[in-house]
Amino acid sequence: MPEAWLRLCPQAALAADRPIPVRHEGVAYAAFLLDGVPHVTHDICTHGPGLLSDGDIEGEEVICPFHQGRFHIPSGRPTGAPCTEPVRVFPARVIDGMLCIRTEP
Ligand code: FES
């Protein structure tokens, strides 16, 4: 069975120095570009209402703007207090100029 990839946004919308918010069918995603490689996480911080797409990128980490908790973007692992729960990450790739993700578990 072919893998199902969900088209999120044009690749050109991605930026190397900041995350972007992407909304699709009621789900909030944050999309990142690290060393030319796309990454997608849930946008909402696991600690509270902060949006990771409003955060700053430092290396491979995103800093939540609400309480400055941190997550490792490629894995979703929390790397800075007060965050303790991982944020969900989605397999991401560019297909035909579109950022796409797989959403199945
Ligand atoms: S809401 Fe993100 S660190 Fe608190």
Residue with tokens 């199945």: 104
Kindly state if the Cβ of 66 falls inside 6 Å of ligand 1.
yes
CB 48 less than 6 A from any atom of ligand 1: yes
Q: pLDDT band for position 1 (50/70/90)?
A: very low
Cα 101 from Cα 88, distance rounded (Å): 12
Residue nearest to atom 1 of ligand 1 (CA): 48
Q: Phi first, then psi: give them for residue 53, nearest 5 degrees.
A: -70, -15
Residue 3 has pLDDT above 90, yes or no: no
In tens, the pLDDT along 23-60 reads 999 999 999 999 999 999 999 999 999 999 999 999 99
**8: Cβ below 6 Å to ligand 1?**
no
pLDDT (0 to 100) of residue 105: 64
What are the structural domains of the chain?
Answer: 6-101 (2.102.10.10)
Give yes or no for residue 67 CB within 6 A of ligand 1.
yes
State the pTM of this model. 0.94
